[in-house]
Amino acid sequence: MKKLLITLVLIPFLGIAQTIENIDYISPFNNDVAAIKKGNEWGFIDRDGQLTVDFRNDLVLTKTENAAYPIFSNGKCLIAHQKNGVLYYGYIDKTGKTVITPQFLNANNFQYGKALVLKVEKETIGYNDIFKKDVVNYHYFELVIDENGNTIDHLTQLAIHVSPKDKNDKNPPAITSKLISENLVAVKGNNKKWRIKKI
């Protein structure tokens, strides 16, 4: 009777094992998860082989020495959503939940609990009476954000103008600064020289 009871108790747990098939690519583990690709979509598995983030097409690839695949860094992964022909970047957590809404023209993976992003701002500079619409100007700033998406520091003090003709360029504007430690960022100036800034 005991053997029958143990067997009946174990059968449901043994049946939970998940098998994922027809995978096109499996990345090395990073931040305790590995990216897996099926067709044009990516997902993530944990070290037990459980699918933690279901397959989706909005994950941003990170170039490594040998390949390009999405990664989690500091518990967050980059995503990109298109709006009016422009890609905006944001972040998900390890459950696949959006934790920082896509709003940046470009963004880096988190390091030291911070990320470098390009935040776009819209400025109304007039009104066109003929077309009955506002005349607007778009510009962006390079920022350091925290894990909640809040601005820690402005790295560029002057706004960088974004021209409508740039919408045809599929590549986002480049982030020129880089985090070099938990409290330091290297900022490249217009003269191509670096300055070290404490954040």
Q: Which residue range forms the structural domain that includes residue 171? A: 104-199
In a domain, 196, yes or no: yes
| Rounded Cα gap, residues 116 and 102, in angstroms | 14
* 154 within some domain: yes
pLDDT of 15 strictly over 60: no
Residue 9 has pLDDT above 50, yes or no: no
- How confident is residue 159, by pLDDT bands cut at 50, 70 and 90? low
178 in a domain, yes or no?
Answer: yes
Reduced to 3 states (helix: H, G, I; strand: E, B; else coil), residue 146 is: coil
34-67 per-position pLDDT tens digit:
999 999 999 999 999 999 999 999 999 999 888 9
**Structural domain includes residue 23:** no
What's the pLDDT score for residue 169?
Answer: 57
Residue 160: pLDDT over 90 = no
Does the residue 46 lie in any domain?
no
pLDDT at 14: 45
Mean of all residue pLDDT scores within the chain: 85
Asked, for residue 128, whether it belongs to a domain, the answer is: yes
User: What's the structural domain count of the chain?
Assistant: 1
Q: Does residue 195 form part of some domain? A: yes
Over pLDDT 70: what percentage of the chain?
82
* Domain assignment of residue 70, yes or no: no
Residues 174-180: contacts with CB under 8 Å, at least 24 apart: 174/106, 175/106, 175/107, 175/108, 175/116, 175/117, 175/118, 175/142, 176/142, 177/116, 177/142, 178/116, 179/108, 179/111, 179/112, 179/114, 179/116, 179/144
Structure tokens at 57: 């097409």
CB-based contact 122:105 (threshold 8 Å): no
Lowest mean pLDDT among 34-43, 79-88, 164-173, 184-193: 164-173
Instruction: Convert the pLDDT of each residue in 70-128 to its tens digit.
Output: 999 999 999 999 998 889 999 999 999 999 999 999 999 999 999 999 998 777 777 77
At 138, the pLDDT band (50, 70, 90 cuts) reads confident
